[in-house]
Amino acid sequence: MDCISLSILVGLAATLFSLPPAVAIAWFLERTKSRARGFVQTLVMLPLVLPPVVIGYLLLRAFSPRGALGRALAWLGAPVAFHWLGAVTAAAVVGLPLFVMMIGQAMKAVDPRFEIVSRSLGRAPWATFWRVTFPLCWPGILAGAAISFARGLGEFGATIVLAGRIPGETETIPLRIYAELDAPGGEGRVAGLVAVSVLLCVACVVVSRVLEAWYHRRLELER
Amino acid sequence: MRLEVDARVRRRAGFTLEAAFSCETDALALVGPSGCGKSTLLDSVAGIEPGARVVLDGVDCSGLPLHGRGFGYVTQDALLFPHLTVRANLTYSPSAGPIEAAARALGIESLLDRMPRNLSGGERRRVALARAVVSRPRLLLLDEPFGGLDEKRRREAMSLLDHVRQTFRIPMILVSHVADEVIGLSDHAIRLDAGRIVERGSTVAVLRASETHIDNYFEGEVAGRERVRVDGVDLHAVLPEGTAGRVRLACYAHDILLARTAPEAISARNVFPIRVARMEALEDLVIVELERPRLRVLVTEDAARSLDLRPGTEAYAVIKATSIEHLGAA
């Protein structure tokens, strides 16, 4: 698979993969009064401040083919280290803080009293989430997904450590650019890949902004 | 209902609510100035604020989550689910019964397929009330349901709530910072100040004359042009062209006069014999409750004394046709 298709595939898979935990964590942070919120918030935000290479190293330790988890995943046919799933995992972990932050903002914009009314009408918290919170904030979640996807496209440090640079398997656009920089006559290919990267990321940001604006306008109208 | 509550809430900002009471009434009002803790007490009963002991009709609800209590909750902002139609809002509760009766009682039958964003503020509140009623709650909690409405719409909304109360017989707790809102709708009241209960008892006993603006809400059958039959008495009222059937009406207690003999040559269109059912003192005023039609009249203590009013006294009530406001179809 060429590096552009692979990057898109990795970005999409990472976004889908991190969507459930991102929604759950954002809900926990925004809608509960648990004392563990501070700890969870710190943990989730760590990938934002840790050097990506460090994240890659920690992930490699966790998913090492010699470790129990790595062996179990390999046995299940889904090895992470030095596999395209490794690129997905790295992109998902590095993109998670942004994703959680954007979903959190979307949830913050939904008046929590809607949820109180829903529960007073007999709907449990889980049903309330699916019937009220999610339908009201899904455009915000989608906007977050677009940003998370863009972040996944650009992931380099953690990916090269966890997944390596295997052409056609784990070599995403940033890894290919890195390789082409040293290759004789690679400038033209680098320029082309940079242009594709920029275009994809700008498209994601535009989609995210449009969704966000539409979402806030919709909430405003319905207030 | 028989309700026992023991609520203690401590806020970071220094506000503390400590309120314990028990009462036996179908309509309880929580009154007091803004920030006194009325809404916090209501939230404690609802289960939104955790930790309160709440026993309703002998059933301890303290350990039940908000969604397990079966308490309808209506706020000043109607909080209709914006992504659902009015009909879907009404049937949202898993315990929702048929919507027709509530929709008819609250006059929202024509709005069922609209989205909340296409409703006026008054319509939204009616839908919110209907949604709570349709969910068949054991107790209706109303947090300033008429706040922010102008005088006419507030009277309309209160009359509708009274109509709902009579029709569906749901016990309720009404929060209001305006004491006059509660007298027509509750028979028991609790006054809070700075998070403490400072007065409790019958609504009239708890209210202060200076803040009382008593309203009468009643229904009647249109019996001709500008005439409505209420409890067997024909009253003249200013009705919109073409009004027919059963209508809701309102008249302030201070707009009704009492006379021991029938006044003659008087501009007021309504002069009819009455009998005093009961009387209640409100500082230097007296609330006189009439038998038929059941109306409250506010007179000074001096007037009550000079007319020698007492339960059973027969007299005449005088009301100007323009003092009876038509609030819509019943």
> Tell me: the pLDDT tens digits for B220-265?
999 988 899 998 899 999 998 888 888 888 888 889 999 999 998 9
Closest-CA residue of A relative to B128 is A117
Distance (Å, whole) CA B188 – CA A49: 59
B117 in A contact zone (CB under 8 Å): yes
B82 touches chain A (CB under 8 A): yes
- Asked if A132's CB is within 8 angstroms of B67's CB, the reply is no
Measured distance CA(A111)–CA(A132) in Å, rounded: 10
Q: What is the CATH number of the domain that holds B321?
A: 2.40.50.100
Residues 116-145 of A with CB under 8 A from B: 116-125, 128, 131-132, 135-136
Question: Cβ contact (<8 Å) for B73 and A124?
Answer: no
Q: What is the CATH number of the domain that holds A145?
A: 1.10.3720.10
Task: Say what angle helices B121-134 and B151-168 make with each other, to 10 degrees.
Answer: 10
The pLDDT of residue A24 is above 70 = yes
The domain in which residue B280 lies consists of: 215-329
How many Cα neighbours within 13 Å face the side chain of A60?
A: 15
| Phi/psi-derived region of residue B48, left when phi > 0, alpha when psi is between -120 and 50, beta in every other case | alpha
Tell me which chain A residues have a C-beta less than 8 angstroms from the C-beta of B82.
136, 219, 222-223
pLDDT class of A220 with cuts at 50, 70, 90: low
pLDDT at B211 over 70: no
Angle at B171 between CA B152 and CA B83, to 5 degrees: 65
What pLDDT does B76 receive?
A: 83
* Shortest Cα–Cα distance, A28 to chain B (Å): 17
Confidence at residue A120, expressed as pLDDT on a 0 to 100 scale: 94
Residue with token string 């706040």: B147
Q: What is the pLDDT of residues B271-318, one digit of tens each?
A: 999 999 999 888 788 889 999 888 989 999 999 999 999 999 999 999
Q: Distance (Å) from the C-alpha of residue A174 to the closest C-alpha of chain B?
A: 41
| Residue that terminates a domain, selected from B209, B238, B255 | B209
The pLDDT confidence band at residue A221, using thresholds 50, 70 and 90, is low
Whether B204 and B225 share a structural domain: no
CA-based nearest residue in chain B for residue A121? B93
| Same domain? B45 vs B174 | yes
CA angle (B30 as vertex; B25, B33 as ends), nearest 5: 160
For residue range B13-35, list pLDDT tens digits in order.
778 899 999 989 889 999 888 88
Task: Please give the angle made by the CA atoms of B105, B108 and B111, to the nearest 5 degrees.
Answer: 165
Q: Is A77 on the interface with B (CB under 8 A)?
A: no
Q: Which of A141-150, B59-68, B198-207, B240-249 has the lowest mean pLDDT?
A: B198-207
Side-chain-facing half-sphere of A208: CA atoms under 13 Å: 21
- What residues form DSSP beta bridges with B22? B4
Q: What does chain B come to in residues?
A: 330
pLDDT at A223: 54
Residue B205 and residue B83 share a domain: yes
**Closest chain B residue to A125 measured between Cα atoms?**
B67
From B46, B43, B100, select the one nearest B68 (Cα to Cα). B46
C-alpha span between A210 and B174 (Å, rounded): 43
pLDDT digits (tens, 9 = 90+) for B241-250: 888 888 888 8
Query: Strand, coil or helix: what is B151?
Result: helix
d(CA B330, CA B316): 27
Q: Which residues of A touch B116 (CB under 8 A)?
A: 222
Bridge partners, residue B143, by sequence: B75, B175
Per-residue CA distances from A57 to A96, A167, B1 (Å) = 17, 21, 65
Note whether B182 and B290 are same-domain residues: no
Q: What is the pTM of this model?
A: 0.78
Q: Does B79 touch chain A (CB under 8 A)?
A: yes
Which residues lie closer than 8 Å to B112 by C-beta, 6 or more apart? B85, B86, B87, B90, B99, B103
Q: Of B81, B94, B141, which is closest to A122 when you measure between CB atoms? A: B94
Which strand (E) or helix (H) includes residue B117? none
- Structural domain ending residue among the three candidates B150, B181, B209: B209
How many structural domains comprise chain B?
2
Q: How far does Cα B11 stand from its chain's mean position?
A: 30
Q: Are residues B186 and B324 in the same domain?
A: no
pLDDT of residue B261: 93
Which positions in chain A touch B91 (Cβ < 8 Å)?
Answer: none
Closest by CA position to A139, among listed B83, B114, B80, B85: B83
Strand (E) or helix (H) holding B36: none
Q: Say whether both B261 and B289 belong to one domain.
A: yes
Question: Which pLDDT score is estimated for B310?
Answer: 93
Q: What average pLDDT score do residues B151-178 get? A: 83
The two structure tokens encoding residue A17: 């993969």
- Which residue type does A106 have? A
**What pLDDT does B30 receive?**
92
A98 token code pair: 């942004």
How would you classify the pairing of strands B227-230 and B233-236? Answer: antiparallel
pLDDT at residue A168 tops 70:
yes
Q: Please report which confidence band the pLDDT of residue A163 belongs to, taking 50, 70 and 90 as the band edges.
A: confident
Q: How far is A27 from chain B (nearest CA, A)?
A: 18
Q: Choose the closest CB to B71 out of A120, A132, A136.
A: A120
Shared domain check, B274 and B145: no
Confidence of residue B209 (pLDDT cuts 50, 70, 90): low
Residue in chain B closest to A126 (alpha carbons) equals: B67
Q: Does B115 lie in the same domain as B10? A: yes
What number is the ipTM of this complex? 0.77
3-state secondary structure of B154: helix
Residue B319: strand pairing partners: B256, B270
Whether A159 contacts A172, CB under 8 Å = yes
Over chain B, what is the mean pLDDT?
88
CB atoms within 10 A of CB A36: 11
Q: Do residue A123 and residue B67 have CB atoms under 8 angstroms apart?
A: yes
Same domain, B231 and B196: no
Q: Indicate if the alpha-carbon torsion angle B176, B179, B181, B184 is positive or negative.
A: positive
Asked if A119 lies within 8 A of B93 by C-beta distance, the reply is: no
pLDDT, residue B73, reads: 93
pLDDT at B179: 61
CA distance to partner chain A, nearest, from residue B176 (Å): 19
Are the beta carbons of A121 and B71 separated by less than 8 Å?
Answer: no
Question: Per the structure, how many domains does chain A have?
Answer: 1
**Residue B170 belongs to what H/E stretch?**
none
Task: Please work out, in degrees rounded to the nearest 5, the angle formed at the alpha carbon of residue B326 by the alpha carbons of B323 and B330.
Answer: 140
**How many CB pairs below 8 A link A and B?**
63
As beta bridge partners, residue A97 has none
Same-domain check for residues B295 and B219: yes
- Residue A141 burial by Cβ neighbours in a 10 Å radius (0-12, 13-18, 19+): buried
Whether A116 sits inside 8 A of B66 (CB atoms) is: yes
Q: How many CB atoms lie within 10 A of CB B196?
A: 14
d(CA B98, nearest CA chain A) in Å: 15
- B139 in contact with chain A, both atoms CB, cutoff 8 A: no
A123 contacts on B by Cβ (under 8 Å): 67, 92-94
> What's the whole-number mean pLDDT along residues B166-172?
87
Q: Do B25 and B131 share a domain, yes or no?
A: yes
For every residue of chain A, which 3-state class applies, written as one string?
A: CCHHHHHHHHHHHHHHHHHHHHHHHHHHHHHCCCCCHHHHHHHHHHHHHCCHHHHHHHHHHHHCCCCHHHHHHHHCCCCCCCCHHHHHHHHHHHHHHHHHHHHHHHHHCCCHHHHHHHHHCCCCHHHHHHHHHHHHHHHHHHHHHHHHHHHHHCCCHHHHHHCCCCCCCCCCHHHHHHHHHHCCCCHHHHHHHHHHHHHHHHHHHHHHHHHHHHHHHHHHHHC
Q: Which of B39, B48, B67 to mutate to test the interface with A (most CBs of A within 10 A)?
A: B67
Beta partners for residue B139, in sequence order: B71
Neighbour-count burial for A179-198, b at 16+ CB within 10 Å, e otherwise: bbeeeeeeeeebeebeebbe
**In chain B, count of helices (H) and strands (E)?**
8, 20
Give per-residue pLDDT as tens, A56-78.
Answer: 999 998 888 788 888 888 888 87
Q: In this model, does residue B202 exceed pLDDT 90?
A: no
Which residue from A113, A121, A124 is facing B75, i.e. has the nearest CB? Answer: A113
Say yes or no: B67 and B200 in one domain: yes
- pLDDT score of B208: 66
* Residues B231/B294, Cβ–Cβ less than 8 Å: yes
User: Which residues constitute the domain of residue A73?
Assistant: 3-222
Locate the chain A residue with the closest alpha carbon to B89.
A118
